[in-house]
A and B are shown apart, each in its own frame.
Chain A
Amino acid sequence: MQQLKLPIALIIAVILQWTLRNVAEPFAYIDFPLIIVVYAALHRDSVKAIFSGTFAGLAVDALSGGLMGATGFSKTFVAYAVSELARRVYLDNLLLRIPVIAGACVIDDLLYYGLHRLLGQEPSAEFFVTIAYTLIGTTIAGTIIYLLMEYFLAERTRPKRRDAFATRRQTRRRNPIRLGK
């Protein structure tokens, strides 16, 4: 079951990305698959993170007007970069993860935009405005999602407080009747 949690979270993220823009336009500025890919990468499982990046990217590209493989490329790169960073630097604190998701978001957008420009396909959105809004939206949503994921996904793996310490040895009480002798 533990193995299935990440793929399920990734599938939900892709479905949200496919559908939420139809509900309200501002949801387009939240990159749900990127949040999950970075989460996987932060857990130092490079292979899982890289495959998550490729899968999520291709799923988004399939319904997008952009080039097929562009999101796959950018998310795979971001997954690898973050997992390498997580191996070298301590990033288990939520506060340290906020700049990581923000940086990942900027790199992802720059790569996506750059690849389209490289292949002669000008994206239709405005460059700075889109990057700024995506950065804000994804960072805020990412922080909230990480809090929830840590609570729900990591709760069972965390040892309970009672189990974390060795049982205290009970000192045998002396018999007060004998003491009185």
Chain B
Amino acid sequence: MTPWLVIVLLLGNFILMAFDARDINTGQRIIRVWSQTAADFVQSPVTTASSSFSGYFGSIATLRSAQTENDVLKQRIQELELEVKGNEELTSENQRLKSLLGLKETSKYKVLPARIIGRDPSVWFDSSIINRGSLDGVNLNMPVVTDGGLVGRITAVSPLTAQVDLITLDKSGVAGVIGEISTSNVLGVIKGTSKKDLLEMRYVSGSVEVQPGQTIYTTGQDGIFPPGLKVGEIVEVKSGSATVPHQIFVRPSARIDSMQEVGILMYEPPARDEFEQKLPNAITKEKVR
């Protein structure tokens, strides 16, 4: 009887896998959703307890250097006060200039703060679980950011939690541009390299000049991430030629390996048809005629 039982269970697992692999990017399986919800009741208290535990011992360890640090910080406060005064002047000048130009400073997207409550239990992958779910308005494919830059996107949502796939994953892809989107047309695709501190930008023409230290932003052409989000900085360029694209390595600007809190951009990309119609090479009805 046992061999038959094994065959049935293995077959069941394989069917589940094949079903999941068919639509990995938006695969919302009911078993995954409810397991994540159930796990939240365990993960949240453990995360809180472990962070307070490590914080307690960390504070004891840092107590010894507190006096020196205090003196340095006092000096730094004085420096910053001067800097703040300078910035206030610059801000007021900036506001005046903006009002002259008729620009309105508006926050484009609402940001929902979230805390990382769990990491991928499998060592082969590196997704994160956050404490916001569909009850907070989180949807699939919403971009996740930190103050440093882009982190990843939501790949599974349960009522209380959501799963985030990082941009460093092999299967991730972000449409990027080197430099500001309005001033540059050096486009490419940023892929993960399985290393937490390195991304690779592909399909950048070898005839374009690219330098280490340049910043990369999202273009919004992938239909997932909004344009203008900072992705990272170029750290290495293996030059290509007229027919071979550059091999560009990028360090993510978000500190992916040590982040504890993230923000979810409540961004809904435009509908694909509408989006494609906006592209310069779109086939419109007028063009067909």
Contact = CB atoms under 8 A, between A and B. Distances in A.
Contacts of A39: none
Interface string B107-126: 00000000011111111111
Given A67-B24, A68-B31, A28 B6 contact: no
A125 B123 contact: yes
Contacts of A89: none
A69 interface: yes
A6 to B, nearest CB: 17
Contacts, number: 158
B155 interface: yes
B13 A76 contact: yes
Contacts of B2: 46-47, 50, 80
Interface residues of B, number: 52
B121 A69 contact: no
Contact of A22 (B6, B117, B126, B165): B117
Contacts of B168: 124
B53 to A, nearest CB: 8
Given A65-B120, A65-B163, A69-B16, 8 more contacts: A18-B42, A19-B43, A23-B54, A28-B120, A28-B123, A58-B13, A115-B17, A121-B21
Interface of A: 15, 17-19, 21-23, 28-29, 46-47, 50-51, 54, 57-73, 76-77, 80, 112-113, 115-116, 119-126, 130, 133-134
Interface of B: 2-3, 5-6, 9-10, 12-21, 24, 27, 29, 31-32, 35-36, 39, 42-43, 46-47, 50, 54, 116-127, 129, 155, 163, 165, 168-171, 192, 194
